[in-house]
Structure 1
Amino acid sequence: MSTLEIPIRDESIRLGQLLKLAGVVDDGAMARAVIENGEVRVDGDVVARRGSQVRPGQSVEYAGETILVVTGT
């Protein structure tokens, strides 16, 4: 399992956008599918809504990757 730090400038980012930005899914359709299938966890809890907001300090787990959302500059 590896960890990726993804900086964002805004207060939050949509879960599907974060997965694309981190490079763990190829496109929005794939993001939607893996989220709806319950394959994605935010702070340890399964999240099934692609539009869920993720904020700095939260972690997302998918396919053996941990994505840490951090405040960007």
Structure 2
Amino acid sequence: TTSANLSGEAPPVSAEKLSIKIAQHVDFILDSGTCRYQIPSTIVQLNSTLDTYRIIRTGAFPAKEFDEIFRNYPN
């Protein structure tokens, strides 16, 4: 699934609002505060060595910006 909410629940607009049932099944949560755009989050899958990634769902954080950050991230 690419949803950060349980069926029937509103999508969370901050890491604090993320259901504990969801949070316990992910490896990493990037908390940048409350989502000012009030649209779903971008979901990124990183490989175990953090040298490649795949955008699972584009949302509030544009894939193009993630590409730029990832290219400049020291491995």
TM-score under structure 1 normalisation?
Answer: 0.28
TM-score under structure 2 normalisation?
Answer: 0.28
Structure with greater contact order relative to length (CA < 8 Å, sep ≥ 6)? 1
Larger Rg: 2
Question: Which structure has greater strand proportion?
Answer: 1
